[in-house]
Amino acid sequence: MWIDVAQVLGVDLSIALEIIRNLIETGTLPPQLEPIRGLLLSLINLGLIDVAVAL
């Protein structure tokens, strides 16, 4: 059973997705997040970023 995290939390996580995507695409990802750039890209591509943002 898949739970829609955004629906459970009652928030729109699409804004967080756009912020993360913009940071990655423009190369302005903070140095602290640089080691997980690949993971973030994978989560975006798999549509799982809302789960990751909620955690």
**For 1-55, how does the pLDDT look when each residue is reduced to its tens digit (9 = 90+)?**
445 655 666 666 677 778 888 888 888 888 888 888 888 888 777 777 666 655 5
Going by C-alpha positions, the residue among 43, 45, 54 that lies closest to residue 10 is 54
The pLDDT of residue 19: 80
The pTM score is 0.54
How far, in Å, CA of 54 to CA of 16, rounded? 10
**Distance of alpha carbon 34 from alpha carbon 21, whole angstroms:** 13
Helix (H, G, I), strand (E, B) or coil at 12: coil
Alpha carbon 8 to chain centroid, angstroms: 17
